[in-house]
Amino acid sequence: MTSPTPIAVLASGRGSNLAALIAARRAGRLAVDFALVASDKAAAPALRRAEAEGIATLALDPQGYPDRRSYDLALFERVAASGAGLIVLAGFMRVLDAAALAPWAGRMINLHPSLLPKYRGLHTHRRVLEAGDAEHGASVHFVTPELDGGPLIAQVRMPVQAGDSAESLAARLQPLEHRLLVACVAALATGQVVWRDGGVEAGGQRLRAPLRLAVDGSLQPA
Ligand code: GRF
C-alpha cells in the first residue's frame, strides 16, 4: 500500500470545498493527509474548519509584505515546510506570482467555477447568464502563471435553467464542485492523473480534452 499524499489546501473564504475533502478522506475515499490549510484571511471560516479537525493552519496577511512575489514566496516556503507535495487552491482569491509558482509546476491545482476556457477570473455565474449560455459548470486545472489558464484536468457540466440567477447557479454548482474537486485530488493522489511535459496524462494517455465527472463521481474521458 502506498502512503497518503500530503496536501496543502489554500482558501480565502468559507471552505466548503475543504470540508468536502475532509469528509471524503474520513470516508476512506481520498488517500491524502492534510499537511496544512493556509489562508490570506485570518478570519476565513476555512481556517476554523481545519482547526476543528486538528489540521495545522497558517494565516498569512499580505499586508506584511512589500509585493506579491515576496508574499507568495513566503507562503510557499511555509507550504513546503509543511511537507505538502500537492497544493489545492480551493477558493484562494489571489493572483499568484509566476516565479513563486515555478517550483510547484505540476503540483498545484485550482478549482474554478466555469467551463474554462470560458470566463476566467471573477463573476463567472453572472457572465454565464449575460451570455445566455445553455450550460455552466466548473473546472479543475493545473496552475500556471496564466490566470485560470493552466492545463485542464476535469470538468463538471450542468444546464442553465429558465429563471436562474447568479445565486441559484452558484448554489446548484457548489455540490458539483465539491465532487469534482474530490475526484481530481483522488486521481492525483493515486497517480491516475499526472502532469507530464506541461500537459495532463490520465491512465497513461495524454489528455486532449478534460475528463468529465460522471454521475457516480468517477472521472471519465470526455
Ligand atoms: C468555489 O465556488 C470555487 O469554485 C471558487 O471559490 C469558491 C470557494 O468556495 N474558486 P469554498 O470556500 O470552498 O466554500
Domain parsing of the chain, residue ranges: 5-220
3 confidence band (pLDDT: 50, 70, 90): confident
> What residue's CA is closest to ligand 1, atom 5?
91
Give the separation between CA 58 and CA 159, rounded to whole angstroms.
38
Per-residue model confidence as pLDDT tens digits over 174-206 = 999 999 999 999 999 999 999 999 999 999 999
Per-residue model confidence as pLDDT tens digits over 91-139 = 999 999 999 999 999 999 999 999 999 999 999 999 999 999 999 999 9
pLDDT score at 119? 98
Q: What value does the mean pLDDT take over residues 75-101?
A: 97
Give the separation between CA 120 and CA 139, rounded to whole angstroms.
11
Which residue do the cell numbers 496564466 mark? 146
Residue 85 Cα to ligand 1 middle (Å): 22
> What residue's CA is closest to ligand 1, atom 7?
91
Residue 89 Cα to ligand 1 middle (Å): 9
Residue 15 Cα to ligand 1 middle (Å): 7
Specify whether the CB–CB gap between 61 and 42 falls below 8 A: yes
Which run of H or E residues covers position 74?
helix 68-81
pLDDT above 80 for 1? no
Residue 76 CA, chain-centre distance (Å), reads: 16
pLDDT score at 121? 97
Q: Which residues contact 143 (CB under 8 A, 6 or more apart)?
A: 87, 89, 96, 101, 104, 108, 109, 110, 150
Count the neighbouring beta carbons within 10 Å of the beta carbon of residue 185: 28
pLDDT above 80 for 9? yes
The number of the ligand 1 atom at minimal distance from the alpha carbon of 138 is 4
Ligand 1 pocket, CB under 6 A: 11, 13-17, 46, 90-91, 111-113, 138, 177
Q: For the structural domain made of 5-220, what CATH number should be given? A: 3.40.50.170
pLDDT above 70 for 31? yes
pLDDT above 70 for 41? yes
**Mutational test site, ligand 1, from 177, 181, 213, max ligand atoms within 8 Å of CB:** 177
Please, what is the average pLDDT of the chain?
Answer: 97
**C-alpha cell belonging to residue 210:** 478534460
Put the strands of the sheet holding 205-206 in their side by side order: 193-196, 199-202, 205-206
Q: Is the pTM of this model over 0.95?
A: yes
The number of the ligand 1 atom at minimal distance from the alpha carbon of 16 is 14
pLDDT above 80 for 2? no
Q: What value does the mean pLDDT take over residues 137-146?
A: 97
46 confidence band (pLDDT: 50, 70, 90): very high
Per-residue model confidence as pLDDT tens digits over 159-179 = 999 999 999 999 999 999 999
Q: What value does the mean pLDDT take over residues 57-72?
A: 98
Q: Which positions are annotated as active-site residues?
A: 112
Residue 1 Cα to ligand 1 middle (Å): 32
